[in-house]
Amino acid sequence: MPPKKSGSEQVADFFANIDHPLEPAMEKVREIILASDDAITEQIKWKGPSFCYNGDDRVTFNVRNDALLLIFHRGAKIKDSTGSGRLIEDPTGLLQWITDDRATIKFTSEDEVDQKRSELTKVIQLWIAAAG
């Protein structure tokens, strides 16, 4: 039995085998996420790249036919945040809130990723700091 692939190898395989018009945009988003904090690691979760901090998933790709949806969350383990309000203040306005500790950002083109690069980096850094 071959050894289990590392998270980075899993994600490399994902990109090697994907045939999607937004692949260049996805590659850029991956680079932005990994560059936003040296402690971020990657793996495959829910059939897409997922980015972890301190071993907990924090941002996960949801690849759709016409878009890339980034899911910002606090990992698989339930954490009590009742009554504390939204996890972060989003000065960029990029996040679409699902619950107080779960939000999304939708990208539909590579140009959009390029235009929002610095805002995305800021949101990732704020999310990582708040989610721990």
Q: What is the pLDDT of residue 21?
A: 96
Asked whether the predicted pLDDT for residue 4 surpasses 90, the reply is no
Q: What is the pLDDT of residue 132?
A: 72
Asked whether the predicted pLDDT for residue 118 surpasses 60, the reply is yes
Q: What is the pLDDT of residue 1?
A: 72
Task: Please tell me the number of Cα atoms within 13 Å of 73 on its side-chain side.
Answer: 17
CA-to-CA distance for 55 and 40, rounded, in angstroms?
9
CA dihedral (11, 17, 22, 28) positive or negative: positive
Give the CATH architecture of domain 7-76+84-125: Alpha-Beta Complex (3.90)
pTM tops 0.85, yes or no: yes
Q: Strand, helix or coil at 130? A: helix
Asked whether the predicted pLDDT for residue 83 surpasses 60, the reply is no
Name which of 12-21, 72-81, 94-103, 113-122 the model is least confident about: 72-81
Contact 33, 50 (CB under 8 A): no
Residue 21: closest CA among 66, 71, 70: 66
Q: What is the pLDDT of residue 46?
A: 86
- 72 DSSP 8-state letter: E
Q: Strand, helix or coil at 90? A: coil
Contact 120, 32 (CB under 8 A): yes
Name which of 12-21, 25-34, 51-60, 77-86 the model is least confident about: 77-86
Residues in the chain: 132
Asked whether the predicted pLDDT for residue 84 surpasses 80, the reply is no
